[in-house]
Structure 1
Amino acid sequence: MNKDDDVESPLLAAAGDHDDPSSSAAAGSSFALACALVASLTSIIYGYNRGVMSGAQKFVQGDLGVTDAEIEVLIGATSIYSLVGSLAAGWACDRAGRRRTIALSAAMFFAGSAATAAANGYAALMLGQLVAGVACGFGLVVAPVYIAEIAPPSSRGFLASIPEIAGNSGILLSYIADFALAGLPMSLNWRLMIGIGAVPPLLLAAAALLAMPETPRWLVLHGHHDDARLVLVRTTGGDAALAERRLQEIVSSVKESAKQREARPGGCGSTSVWRDILVRPTPAVRRVLLAILGLQFFQQASGVAALVLYAPRVFNHVGVTSEHAVLGATILLGVTKTVSIVVPLFLADSLGRRPMLLSSAGGMAVSLLVLGFSLRVSSSPSPGDDDAWWAAAMSVAAAAAFMATFSLGFGPVIWMYGSEILPLRLRAQGTGIGTAANRVMSAAVGMTFISLYEAVGMAGTFYLFAACSAAAWVFVYACLPETKGRSLEEMEALFDTAQPSLPAP
């Protein structure tokens, strides 16, 4: 049996033996929770990098003479760069392992933030955002994959929600930093806003290399069964019998996947992963891929990136002109988004994935309709003072309601759902494909938002986003089975047999 000497970690060694079953379960959950929290640092850093430009862009423009069009390209290009990162992350996860890929993403986050903060021109800004964008793609892929594979089935929904909470916390922290540093000289404030993001990656890289175990499923896939057993013992709180049973389930799943692969044209190898996903997928894999791509498309088509990246412009449009008032309203969005994201943490394993996604999509559509209406009132030829006041208040409230309903389902649940339904051998690459689709749509929204609202109006733009959210509700209802409480090894059978228009039993 092969042995990976650096798989064992202080986190793994720190968990002791437990004789009482309830104590064992608690210890296993605590160990998995500690691993998930460390992995989710990636998402905090991603969220900070994603949100900081919302407030910093005005000061970047003033200091470096960057135009609106260049800002639009800069922000949208970051999503294109993260597309490259998400595709490369799947390959890195499979080759180097999940935790080494986390360390690699942390190193890139550090380099990208530092380079952007030190930029003295538009080209340097683009270079810094290139590195940071690739790091974002890595972070979006590796954290959900790691947590899905380390978590016990009973708490996978809870643990898989943590990265989205962490990402929203990162966005909120970036808004707070923007607000706190806005009063400094223009040549300094935006550099500090962005440069702060270079500090947490150093902590993440150290934690990933020194404190995190590799996931048992990756270890089995690469022949390290003894190391996988050690990790499983810890995630079950010392229950050796349960750990052995789960190990055998994973081994059987890997062997069955290998048999199917060998029986199909092309044999094995890294290229067959792409063949199994894109060229000759089984009916179950095809349905899984449809679910993942559809969810990722609709998440960004709802326009969430427009509010995350351009909230100050939206509030300016509705008549909120004070710089502190605009940044304060933006912080309100961040607080609402972050607080609301806690709800799925406790409901995903009890209520289920489908009800949360359906409620989220419906709430998003209604909120966006109200936001569009308030923006139309504020842009009427001669609004009165009373109209202007309540339209501004309604716009802020509707934007906050959108963030809240987005965070109830389409924020965290799509990442949880996508990472758990893919077969083991295809999980990292498949998650990368889904994330790439997400980044394409995010880039499309980020790079066209200013041009779009100039063409069809700010209100018309949010009406389009509302229509996409309504279409998302239809997609979830028609195409997604329920997955709560099922082991990862059961998912392919679920998508083979379940009627996609009905929840799975």
Structure 2
Amino acid sequence: MRWEEDEDIRTTQPTGESFMSANTYSPPVTTHAHAKPHAKATAIFTCVLAALAGLMFGLDIGVISGATQFIQHDFGVSDHQIEWIVSGMMFGAAVGALAAGWMSSALGRKRSLILGAVLFVAGSLLCGFAWSPETLIAARVVLGLAIGIATFTAPLYLAEVAPEYIRGAMISLYQLMITIGILVAFLSDTAFSYNGNWRWMLGIIAIPGALFLFGVMFLPDSPRWLLMKQRDAEALDVLQRLRGNPEIVEREANDIREQLRTPQRGWHLFQENSNFRRSVGLGILLQLMQQFTGMNVVMYYAPRIFKDMGYDTSAQMWFTAIVGLTNVLATFIAIGLIDRWGRKPILYTGFTVMTIGLGVVGFMMGTGTTAHGAQLFTVGMLLVFIVGFAMSAGPLIWTLCSEVQPLKGRDFGIGCSTMTNWIANMIVGFTFLSLLNSIGHTATFYLYAALNAVFIVLTFWLVPETKGITLEQIERNLMSGKRLRDIGN
């Protein structure tokens, strides 16, 4: 948390205000009063239930990894067709994220989450019953639509319903749920790999999806959305249930009304203001940097990578599960260090670790990993790469993308960076196997290692340090024309 003082009024802005969201708003709470215990419990339960959207996201990312080799065997498809199956989800997510902004405003956050859950269940079942590669691609696109909607709406909803004293923790919980979902999917794939049943791998995630759908139906509407729609009585009722203190309720409602008086005019600002265009460009660059680290190459194709190291199917799946566990544990490093070290030192560390990790993996793949010790060393260096990403570019890029956008253009700026994330994600998923087949393993991993080295330089020249700096000061520096790397000074 970063605390900002304004005379005798205390407000909060969570530093991780949007790890996986195109628009996360955190209304300030101006009070020294405390919520009643039952209201606190209600608020925590509501937030935890909404954060489970991150679990759905993680399941969808992870589940395809273990299934590809069995799909390829059953359908007799090429590596290029597997790339279509993998990247179909990212295409759907890009479309879903694009539509989610309008949906969350017109239909509300709760109904958008319900629609996302319905599409998730439908897409999972269609994956399990797919009768052709084309059907499977279509099912993955449906899953992507669900994920695009959820990744926009869930952090937005969390920021709007969470009390200030747990808001940062709840948004961090959402990010953690994503990594847990990936791990659970890897473990599920491992269990089903013994009989090669990829249909169960892909279809079984409909069960947690259905449970999430059932739970979301009991969520309250966002009080900010209700106030946007001038449904003040309902908004105050929801706030009363979540806060339990009339003083807190009235102050927070007034704060939200005050914030709503600042209209979003991002497209016009983008056309008129070159400084805003710089911040949008920085957000887009940050997302390109995150995706082209090569992390999702491992998330989507880990068993194939371990197969090419010389491991059998059982070892491939268990090592993939270890990748998921490493990703979960290393995320805690970022949560613990983000406000101690600052953004740039963590990014420097992460990109350096990833450069070394992938560089060594590329070298070992070139010299040969037939010896057992060489195989384990190569796996270890791949896990080092995972740690480097999970502690740095994974969560921090989302934090920076939300911090560098001015208030009047925040929706537009974060929307552009989120769309870039999904498009770049799709490119990575769609090209990895083709790269392996055309230039080989060594050159492919060297390529991603070189990109991470370039990102160290880009971090130095363009990325600002925003630790301990208010969003208002960042905006003033940006609009005054300061260099991008200096807007956090």
* TM-score of the pair, normalised by structure 1: 0.81
- Superposition pairs of residues 37-436 of structure 1, within 5 angstroms: 37-151=48-162, 156-184=167-195, 186=196, 189-216=197-224, 218-225=225-232, 227-228=234-235, 237-238=243-244, 241=247, 244-257=250-263, 275-276=267-268, 278-280=270-272, 282-283=273-274, 285-320=276-311, 322-378=312-368, 388-419=371-402, 422=405, 427-428=410-411, 430-436=413-419
- Residue type of the partner of 1:43? G
CA gap of 1:394–1:278, structure 2 versus 1, over 3 A, is: farther
Q: Could you tell me how far 1:460 is from its partner in structure 2? A: 1.4
- Residue type of the partner of 2:315? A
> Any conservation in 2 of the 1:363–1:405 contact (CA below 8 Å)?
yes
Residue 485 of structure 2 corresponds to residue 501 of structure 1:
yes
CA gap of 1:229–1:419, structure 2 versus 1, over 3 A, is: farther
CA gap of 1:39–1:81, structure 2 versus 1, over 3 A, is: same
How far apart in 2 are the matches of 1:242 and 1:486? 26
CA gap of 1:244–1:360, structure 2 versus 1, over 3 A, is: farther
How far apart in 1 are the matches of 2:477 and 2:253? 21
> Any conservation in 2 of the 1:153–1:486 contact (CA below 8 Å)?
no
**1:446 counterpart (421, 429, 432):** 429
> Any conservation in 2 of the 1:112–1:132 contact (CA below 8 Å)?
yes
CA gap of 1:231–1:212, structure 2 versus 1, over 3 A, is: closer
Residue in structure 2 matched with residue 461 of structure 1 by the alignment? 444
> Any conservation in 1 of the 2:307–2:313 contact (CA below 8 Å)?
no
- Residue type of the partner of 2:488? A
- Residue type of the partner of 2:218? L
How far apart in 1 are the matches of 2:160 and 2:102? 17
How far apart in 2 are the matches of 1:477 and 1:279? 28
* TM-score of the pair, normalised by structure 2: 0.83
Q: Could you tell me how far 1:199 is from its partner in structure 2? A: 1.4
- SS of the aligned residue for 2:204 comes to helix
> Any conservation in 2 of the 1:73–1:447 contact (CA below 8 Å)?
yes
Residue in structure 1 matched with residue 9 of structure 2 by the alignment? none
- Residue type of the partner of 2:296? A
Residue in structure 2 matched with residue 12 of structure 1 by the alignment? none
> Any conservation in 2 of the 1:277–1:426 contact (CA below 8 Å)?
yes
How far apart in 2 are the matches of 1:202 and 1:419? 31
Question: Aligned Cα RMSD in Å?
Answer: 3.1
CA gap of 1:57–1:112, structure 2 versus 1, over 3 A, is: same
- SS of the aligned residue for 1:223 comes to coil
Alignment size in residue pairs? 458
> Any conservation in 2 of the 1:50–1:171 contact (CA below 8 Å)?
yes
Q: Could you tell me how far 1:59 is from its partner in structure 2? A: 1.3
Which consecutive residues of structure 1, in runs of 5 or more, have no partner in the other structure? 1-19, 262-272, 380-384
Residue in structure 1 matched with residue 3 of structure 2 by the alignment? none
Q: Could you tell me how far 1:297 is from its partner in structure 2? A: 0.9
Q: Could you tell me how far 1:244 is from its partner in structure 2? A: 4.6
CA gap of 1:149–1:418, structure 2 versus 1, over 3 A, is: farther
How far apart in 2 are the matches of 1:443 and 1:182? 26
- SS of the aligned residue for 1:210 comes to coil
- SS of the aligned residue for 1:192 comes to helix
- Residue type of the partner of 1:214? S
Query: What does the per-residue CA deviation read over 1:82-124, in whole Å, with 9 as the maximum and x for residues that have no partner?
Result: 2111111122122222222111111111111101110111121
Q: Could you tell me how far 1:333 is from its partner in structure 2? A: 0.5
How far apart in 2 are the matches of 1:34 and 1:171? 23
Residue in structure 2 matched with residue 8 of structure 1 by the alignment? none
- SS of the aligned residue for 1:411 comes to helix
> Any conservation in 2 of the 1:109–1:198 contact (CA below 8 Å)?
yes
> Does 462-471 or 100-109 show the bigger shift?
462-471
Q: Could you tell me how far 1:53 is from its partner in structure 2? A: 1.4
How far apart in 1 are the matches of 2:428 and 2:406? 31
